[in-house]
Amino acid sequence: MEKKQGFFSALKDEVVRGLSPSRSRSTSPARTVSPITGLLRRKKRSPSPDSSVARSVSLRPLGETLTPLMEGPDPDGTENGDPKRIGSGLGHWMKGQLSRAPSVSSYKRSDLRLLLGVMGAPLAPVHVSSTDPLPHLSIKDTPIETSSAQYILQQYTAASGGLKLQNSIRNAYAMGKVRMVASEFETATRVVKNRSRCAESGGFVLWQMDPDMWYVELAVGGSKVHAGCNGKLVWRHTPWLGAHTAKGPVRPLRRALQGIDPRTTASMFADAKCIGEKNINGEDCFILKLCTDPETLKARSEGPAEIIRHVLFGYFSQKTGLLVHIEDSHLTRIQSNGGDAVYWETTINSFLSDYKPVEGIMIAHSGHSVVTLFRFGEMAMSHTKTRMEEAWTIDEVAFNVQGLSVDCFIPPADLRTASVSEACELPQDERAKNSLAVHRAKVVALEKSHNCSIDSMIWKMEI
C-alpha cells in the first residue's frame, strides 16, 4: 500500500536535488517568496528509513493530505501570487493562519503591525559568533563577578549537552506555533484591559547554519514577517516596510536564544558578569548581566532615534544549570521637531520551560514572553504603557540537515541598501512620526495612513 514519505526524508531529497530555499524564490521583484516553500513540498512515495537527520520526537503523522499555502498578503490585504503547496500537519495549520483575512472587528492593521514589529524577529543586543570559544575559566587575577559568570556558563554548556556535541552541529532547523496578543494599555489616569477575548495564532520556521547565518519566517493573523542573516548583513521583510537591512552590526536572532541554540546563548553571555541570585517561579537562579557597548549602540541609532542603552539579563537555574528566564531591555530617545524628546523603554521578559533532549542537546520546547512598551517624556502625566504577550511551543527540531548550503541564506533580490533602525517599529505621535519619516523615506514609501496609535489596544490575553 502506497504511503506518503516522511517530512525529513522529503526534506533531504529536495535539498540534495538542488531545491534550496534560495532557488525556490520567485524571480519577480514585486514579491518576496518564502525560502522554505520548495523544501516543504512532498510527493507520494514508499517510505524509506533515514537516520542521517537528527530530529525531535514530535513528527507529523503519515497519510495526511497536501494543502495549499498562500505566500501571505501584500500590505493592502490582497493575495500575493499563485499558491504553493506545503506538507501536512503543522503546514496545514499554518496555511489556515496565513491565508485567512484578519478580523477587522478585533484588529486594526496598526495593532497587528505593532505586535509583529516588536515581537516578530527581534535581535540580540550585541554581535556574537557561535564559533567563538568560551573564555577559559580563570580565578587568579580575575574579578569574582567575571569568574563566577564563567563558571555558570561552563555549567550551562555541560547541562545543555556538552561543548563537543554542540560543536558537531553544523546547522539546525526548528518549527513551532505562537500566540500573540496585546493585553493591556495604561495611561496616567486609567488602565484599559482587553475584553474582546481575542488572540492571534500563527507559526514560525527557523533555520541556522555556521558561521552566523540564520533565517526565520513568522506568520500571524494573516500577515508574515521574515528576516535573515547571511553572516555579513541582517535583513528583514515586513508588509509595511518591504525588504530592508537592519541598522548596526550582525547580531543573532533573539528567538534562537530562547532555548533553541545553547551554543550561541553561551557565547552571548561570555562577557557578562554575575550580579547575584533570584528566585524565578520557585527556582533559585544565578543572574548574569550583559551591557551593550557604546559603539554598537551608536551604530544602531539613526537620525532623531538614539538608542541609549540595551541590557540583557540571563537567569540560570542553580539546580539544572539551564537558562530559565531572559530579560531584555533597551531605551530609545526620539527627538521630535521643535518639541521635547520622547523616550521609549522596551522590555521583553521570556520564560523558558519544557526542556527535552534532541539528540543529546537540551531544547526548551515551550515558553512565553511578556513585552512592555513604556513611553514617557514631554509632560509628566503623558506617559503610556502597553503590555503584549506571546506564547510559543516547539513542534520539530532537526540538526545537520544534509544539503543545506549558504545559498539558502541569500538576501531577497529586492533588498534595499539603506538601513532601518528598531525605532521604526515603535508607535509614534505626529511630531515624532513626521521627524522619522524623513529617514524612513530612504528605505520605503510609508503608507498614506500611518495611524500607529495604541489607544485601541483593549484586548485580553487568552493562551
> What does the pLDDT look like over 407-439, one tens digit per residue?
999 998 888 766 777 777 777 553 344 444 444
For the chain, give the mean pLDDT: 75
| pLDDT at residue 104 in the model | 37
- Reported confidence tier of residue 9, pLDDT bands at 50, 70, 90: low
Neighbouring-strand partners of residue 337: none
Instruction: Answer with the residue of higher pLDDT: 343 or 59.
Output: 343
Instruction: Answer with the residue of higher pLDDT: 447 or 295.
Output: 295
Average pLDDT over residues 314-324: 97
Closest CA to 463 of 229, 259, 180: 180
Instruction: Answer with the residue of higher pLDDT: 127 or 188.
Output: 127
pLDDT higher than 90, residue 303:
no
- Reported confidence tier of residue 242, pLDDT bands at 50, 70, 90: confident
pLDDT higher than 60, residue 444:
no
- Reported confidence tier of residue 179, pLDDT bands at 50, 70, 90: very high
| pLDDT at residue 132 in the model | 74
Q: With pLDDT > 90 as the criterion, what percentage of the chain qualifies?
A: 45
| pLDDT at residue 109 in the model | 56
| pLDDT at residue 239 in the model | 86
Average pLDDT over residues 69-83: 39
pLDDT higher than 80, residue 72:
no
pLDDT higher than 70, residue 383:
yes
pLDDT in tens, 365-375: 999 999 999 99
Average pLDDT over residues 294-322: 94
Q: What's the Cα-to-Cα distance from 449 to each of 145, 240, 425, rounded to whole Å?
A: 51, 11, 15
| pLDDT at residue 222 in the model | 84
pTM: 0.72
CA distance 347 to 5: 44
pLDDT in tens, 89-129: 444 544 454 444 434 334 455 567 888 888 899 999 999 88
Average pLDDT over residues 11-15: 52
Q: How many CB atoms within 10 Å of residue 265?
A: 24
pLDDT higher than 60, residue 207:
yes
Q: With pLDDT > 70 as the criterion, what percentage of the chain qualifies?
A: 65
Of 4-18, 82-96, 152-166, 364-378, the poorest mean pLDDT is in 82-96
Amino acid identity, position 34: S
